[in-house]
């Protein structure tokens, strides 16, 4: 969940009665629960929107519920006094449209890849043959893994500059493009894009033109030249997430006709916000603010310009004062072990490893003596028991106390239940969380290097998305600091040192 929703959950749990978004936010401010980096003129409106959207999208599986118009509560705390209230539902556009798809097995036959393939002309011809594609209702396609939905992704350039924007929430786009900074305009190819004249590519190119013309207000000169100057530059396949596995993108580039006419680009849709020209060569360029597909494009098409160095961001500085325990979180192969070694070797921290602690409770050898998938399966069964999280948290806390050190870190907590249990066990002792984020394709390379044996991207994703690992990605919202790991170990270690100095953890 987002930080807004985490705050709402904690407030409602403490107060134990329904509240409006305004009341929730005022209560959180009074209790100093708002992170240092939160900004914006209307945080209560944002909170209200996020609560409403979460209830709309998740229904009864959402932990939140309305008890009256404008009143929110936690579903688990409902009793005879408060009943669920059903608000009128608003549907986003485009839910009944027919989208262009191909069978996923065709990509295996053509040669499956992870990331971006620049030489894609043959793939473009093969996958878009009329006998290879079909149309499905979008609502059905979004729930199927046996087909990939075809989307277009257009980069708009002006010399060395690249047009960037932030995509809003109320839009037809999927989660991998929603609510993040982006450098690609486009969307699904739909049946209305197909005409008698574009049967050769099933309307994909015309779809890209339509989407760009809808999302931006194009000068007249660009409207006329766009069809001839739209260049196919790559294909993108992302199997690192469930949403990514259901989509396949063809990437286009469009160079504007006149930089003078594009000094102040104008949006065409409300979902496109913060429209501006981006210079990837600037030293203050920050990669993590972009959604994953944009990051892939920047690393491939602007490899010589983008300074894809590790980077960190401190969200709550107060969490690192008078600290008793540091927790390092992140998905498999994100770089947690390397970060832990820096803390241990250079700053005299003592480690409590959650995996080895859990292995002791399970009475089995840790990974790699026990195969990883076998260990994860047994770990999940343990954590799902009523006492599992508390037993693991207690064991880690006892190990930490036994060390007799003032600098202790816990490496590798995998789920929020264990983290919450550790906080309860710790009582008034202060815990701070550092989350390490590494893009899936780079984590895959790290994993192969660490394990020293070949493994397919599909096998790696199976490990990364195993049930016991499934909550880790969401725990970035709990982090007091986030470390973004983009490159090899030398630069990564330098960034760890910089973050430690910045947060005062070296003192």
Say what the pLDDT of residue 174 is. Answer: 39
Picking from 117-126, 175-184, 342-351, 398-407, which range would have the lowest pLDDT averaged per residue? 175-184
pTM (predicted TM-score) = 0.71
List, in order, residues 6 or more apart from 145 with CB less than 8 Å away.
Answer: 104, 242, 245, 246
Say what the pLDDT of residue 90 is. Answer: 45
Say what the pLDDT of residue 185 is. Answer: 96
DSSP state of 259: G
The band of 171, judged by pLDDT with boundaries at 50, 70 and 90, is very low
Give the span between the Cα atoms of 438 and 339, in whole angstroms: 13
The band of 308, judged by pLDDT with boundaries at 50, 70 and 90, is low
DSSP state of 79: B
Say what the pLDDT of residue 176 is. Answer: 37
* Domain 3-77 identical in fold to domain 98-301: no
Higher pLDDT, 179 or 167: 167
Q: What is the mean pLDDT of residues 147-157?
A: 97
pLDDT at position 321 over 50 = yes
Q: Which fold has domain 311-503?
A: Rossmann fold (3.40.50)
Say what the pLDDT of residue 154 is. Answer: 98
Say what the pLDDT of residue 8 is. Answer: 92
Domain ranges of the chain: 3-77, 98-301, 311-503
- CATH code that applies to domain 98-301: 3.90.79.10
The band of 91, judged by pLDDT with boundaries at 50, 70 and 90, is very low
Give the span between the Cα atoms of 227 and 332, in whole angstroms: 44
Tell me the two tokens of residue 456.
């397919």
Give the three-class secondary structure for 408. Answer: strand
Q: What is the mean pLDDT of residues 460-470?
A: 80
Give the span between the Cα atoms of 444 and 335, in whole angstroms: 11
pLDDT at position 244 over 70 = yes
Nearest Cα to 117, choosing from 237, 232, 201, 208?
237
Say what the pLDDT of residue 303 is. Answer: 78
- Residue that has been written with the tokens 């878009």 in this structure: 128
Say what the pLDDT of residue 172 is. Answer: 37
DSSP state of 233: E
- Residue that has been written with the tokens 């690393």 in this structure: 299
Picking from 106-110, 178-182, 362-366, which range would have the lowest pLDDT averaged per residue? 178-182
Say what the pLDDT of residue 151 is. Answer: 97
Say what the pLDDT of residue 133 is. Answer: 95
Tell me the two tokens of residue 464.
């990364």
The band of 178, judged by pLDDT with boundaries at 50, 70 and 90, is very low
Burial of 24 (0-12, 13-18, 19+ CB in 10 A): buried
pLDDT at position 173 over 80 = no
pLDDT at position 392 over 50 = yes
Q: In CATH terms, is domain 3-77 a member of 1.10.10?
A: yes
The band of 177, judged by pLDDT with boundaries at 50, 70 and 90, is very low
Picking from 44-48, 105-109, 340-344, 385-389, which range would have the lowest pLDDT averaged per residue? 44-48
Tell me the two tokens of residue 443.
């984590």
Give the span between the Cα atoms of 423 and 426, in whole angstroms: 5
CB atoms within 10 A of CB 16: 9
CA dihedral sign of residues 145, 146, 149, 153: positive
Higher pLDDT, 196 or 500: 500
């Amino acid at each position: 969940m987002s930080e807004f929703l985490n705050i709402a959950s904690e407030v409602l749990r403490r107060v134990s009665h329904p509240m409006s978004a305004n009341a929730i936010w005022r209560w959180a401010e009074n209790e100093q629960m708002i992170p240092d980096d939160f900004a914006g003129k209307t945080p209560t409106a944002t909170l209200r929107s996020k609560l409403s959207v979460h209830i709309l999208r998740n229904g009864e599986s959402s932990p939140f519920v309305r008890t009256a118009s404008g009143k929110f509560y936690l579903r688990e705390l409902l009793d005879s006094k408060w009943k669920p209230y059903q608000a009128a539902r608003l549907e986003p556009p485009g839910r009944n449209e027919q989208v262009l798809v191909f069978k996923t097995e065709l990509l295996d036959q053509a040669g499956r890849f992870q990331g971006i393939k620049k030489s894609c002309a043959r793939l473009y011809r093969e996958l878009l043959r009329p006998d290879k594609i079909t149309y499905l209702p979008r609502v059905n396609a979004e729930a199927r893994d046996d087909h990939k939905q075809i989307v277009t992704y257009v980069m708009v350039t002006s010399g060395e500059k690249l047009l960037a924007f932030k995509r809003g929430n109320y839009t037809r786009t999927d989660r991998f493009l929603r609510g993040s900074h982006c450098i690609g305009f486009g969307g699904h190819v739909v049946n209305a894009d197909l005409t008698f004249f574009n049967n050769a590519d099933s309307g994909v190119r015309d779809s890209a033109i339509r989407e760009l013309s809808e999302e931006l207000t194009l000068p007249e000169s660009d409207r006329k030249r766009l069809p001839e100057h739209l260049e196919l530059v790559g294909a993108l396949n992302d199997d690192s997430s469930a949403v990514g596995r259901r989509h396949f993108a063809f990437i286009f580039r469009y160079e504007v006709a006149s930089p003078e006419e594009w000094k102040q680009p104008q949006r065409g849709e409300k979902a496109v916000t913060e429209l501006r020209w981006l210079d990837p060569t600037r030293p203050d360029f920050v990669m993590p603010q972009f959604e994953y597909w944009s990051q892939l494009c920047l690393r491939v098409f602007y490899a010589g310009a983008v300074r894809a160095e590790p980077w960190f961001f401190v969200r709550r500085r107060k969490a690192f004062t008078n600290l008793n325990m540091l927790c390092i979180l992140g998905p498999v192969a994100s770089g947690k072990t390397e970060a832990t070694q820096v803390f241990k070797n250079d700053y005299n921290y003592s480690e409590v490893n959650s995996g080895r602690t859990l292995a002791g409770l399970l009475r089995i050898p840790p990974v790699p003596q026990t195969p990883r998938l076998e260990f994860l399966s047994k770990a999940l069964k343990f954590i799902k028991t009523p006492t599992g999280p508390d037993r693991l948290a207690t064991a880690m806390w006892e190990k930490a106390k036994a060390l007799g050190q003032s600098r202790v870190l816990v490496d590798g907590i995998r789920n929020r239940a264990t983290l919450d249990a550790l906080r309860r066990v710790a009582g008034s002792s202060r815990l701070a969380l550092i989350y390490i984020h590494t893009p899936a394709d780079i984590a895959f390379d790290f994993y192969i290097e660490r394990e020293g044996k070949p493994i397919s991207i599909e096998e790696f994703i199976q490990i990364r998305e195993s049930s016991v690992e499934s909550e880790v990605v969401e725990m970035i919202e709990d982090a007091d600091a986030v470390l973004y790991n983009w490159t090899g170990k030398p630069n990564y270690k330098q960034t760890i040192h910089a973050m430690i100095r910045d947060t005062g953890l070296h003192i």
